[in-house]
């Protein structure tokens, strides 16, 4: 992903979730081309139908029944906010969201989640205070508080957390138990800080040595080995009670274009996708992964429309939901990346992502425009009430599964200080590094 930080007058570009270290991309502050007509592609005829989750009483059903349409739409969004406390006044928040503090942005848009970056982080006690304050700001439903802690090249919380090696180093050990242990320790440290969702593990198979965006973030170039490592990592995060996200579907491993600055085209055939790209995602789903993140890539043999996978119903609904049987949350990659902003404006992008099958809309370039576009699409019937409820139900179910739908989790600074960079975790990091 790509994020922007800075003052209202000057935006500094820096890499986020989908990106490795050291690069940058220059997304423009306005949307791409004009919105095209709302034509919809259909899922492949060979797909096996799968019923989406429905709220049927219980905690999830009660939470859903109490929500207004505006609150339901807000649950879909996870932007990056600015400030080191929930009540920090930021010109960046005001300029981008029309509200000065993180707490006010959450209330204004009824947000379902927030993603943290290094600019939100100063110290252990401060982050615990921030996540606690953010949760208190969400009066309707507790928040998903996410970050990108893949370890290695992408480690947003590295200033505070144990320095575990990245996926390539762990993959080279050929030891799934090690992958599980590192994911469990990573999740334990995140949960101690009040973070309940990690955008990890990377499930791409890095078969292109010229890949500028995945590379050593992947467990390797062997589909079978990557699948074993990904499944183990998913189980490790699950044991820590932190939600895991397999990324980037349907597979970002064979590209020489960075989706932050362009729109990669994957030339694999369907048979190659089945053999190379699909196994780690199948393994992640089999291991109970909470979420799967889409890729901003064109995959013509899977969808001839040449829309990126993030906006492709044949890929997100036809392949991921129906063929692979995934019932959890589908997250987009960051919607401010150039790879998804080539054909449509920021409002249309959000609407098309939902229609394609996405549930969580991550970091829209223009939150106000995206929120209003989705709300208008629901009110007009372009996005049906049933379709909206499906996504909200999945998000609420994830929160219930991880134990914080009925009551927001509260981190403890003393406990966090004990868990973070513990002797046990430092020993594990040294073993993983070989």
Whether 333 is catalytic: yes
Max Cα-Cα span within the chain? 57
**Using CA atoms, how far apart are residues 348 and 373, in angstroms rounded to an integer?**
7
How many Å separate Cα 149 from the centre of its chain?
A: 11
Q: Are 328 and 290 in contact (CB under 8 A)?
A: yes
Q: Are 149 and 190 in contact (CB under 8 A)?
A: yes
Among 333, 345, 346, 359, the active-site one is 333
Residue 122: C-alpha distances to residues 117, 119, 130, 185, 402 (Å): 11, 8, 10, 21, 27
Q: What is the DSSP string of 252-316?
A: -SS-SS-TTTS--B----HHHIIIIIHHHHHHHHHTT-SEEEE-S-B-TTT-TT---GGG-HIII
Alpha-helix runs per DSSP H in 335-422: 346-356, 367-380, 385-401, 413-419
Write phi, then psi, for 250 (nearest 5 degrees): -90, 10
**Using CA atoms, how far apart are residues 164 and 127, in angstroms rounded to an integer?**
20
Among 110, 119, 252, 260, the active-site one is 260
**Using CA atoms, how far apart are residues 77 and 331, in angstroms rounded to an integer?**
10
Q: 3-class SS at 392?
A: helix
Residue 285 sits at the vertex; the CA angle it makes with 348 and 56, to the nearest 5 degrees, is 70
Whether 303 is catalytic: no
The DSSP call for residue 175 is: -
Catalytic residues: 260, 333
């Amino acid at each position: 992903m790509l994020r922007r930080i800075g003052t209202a007058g000057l935006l500094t570009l820096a890499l986020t979730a989908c990106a490795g270290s050291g690069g940058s991309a220059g997304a423009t502050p306005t949307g791409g081309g004009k919105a095209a007509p709302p034509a919809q592609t259909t899922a492949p005829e060979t797909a096996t139908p799968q019923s989406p989750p429905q709220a049927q009483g219980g905690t999830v059903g009660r939470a859903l029944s109490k929500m207004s349409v505006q609150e339901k739409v807000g649950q879909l969004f996870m932007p990056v906010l600015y400030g080191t406390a929930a009540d920090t006044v930021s010109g960046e928040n005001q300029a981008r969201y029309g509200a000065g503090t993180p707490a006010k942005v959450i209330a204004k848009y009824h947000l379902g989640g927030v993603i943290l970056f290094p600019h939100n982080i100063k110290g252990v006690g401060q982050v615990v205070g921030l996540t606690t304050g953010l949760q208190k700001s969400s009066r309707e439903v507790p928040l998903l508080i996410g970050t990108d802690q893949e370890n290695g090249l992408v480690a947003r919380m590295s200033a505070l957390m144990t320095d575990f090696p990245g996926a390539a180093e762990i993959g080279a050990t050929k030891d799934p138990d090690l992958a599980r242990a590192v994911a469990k320790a990573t999740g334990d440290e995140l949960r101690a800080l009040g973070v309940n969702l990690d955008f990890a593990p990377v499930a791409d198979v890095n078969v292109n040595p010229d890949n500028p965006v995945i590379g050593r973030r992947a467990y390797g170039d062997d589909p079978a080995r990557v699948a074993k490592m990904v499944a183990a990592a998913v189980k490790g995060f699950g044991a820590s009670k932190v939600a895991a996200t397999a990324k980037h579907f349907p597979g970002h491993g064979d590209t020489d274009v960075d989706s932050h600055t362009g729109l990669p085209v994957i030339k694999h055939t369907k048979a190659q996708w089945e053999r190379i790209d699909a196994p780690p995602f199948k393994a992640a789903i089999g291991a109970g992964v909470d979420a799967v993140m889409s890729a901003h890539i064109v995959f013509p043999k899977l969808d001839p429309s040449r829309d990126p996978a993030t906006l492709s119903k044949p890929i997100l609904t036809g392949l991921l939901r129906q063929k692979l049987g995934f019932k959890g949350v589908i997250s987009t990659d960051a919607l401010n990346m150039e790879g998804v902003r080539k054909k449509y404006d920021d409002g249309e992008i959000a609407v098309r992502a939902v229609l394609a099958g996405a549930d969580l809309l991550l970091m829209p370039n223009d939150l106000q425009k995206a929120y209003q576009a989705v709300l208008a699409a629901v009110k007009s019937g372009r996005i049906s009430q049933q379709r909206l409820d499906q996504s909200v139900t999945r998000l609420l179910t994830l929160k219930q599964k991880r134990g914080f739908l009925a009551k927001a989790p509260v981190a403890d600074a003393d406990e966090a200080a004990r868990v973070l960079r513990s002797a046990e975790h430092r020993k594990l990091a040294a073993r993983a590094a070989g």
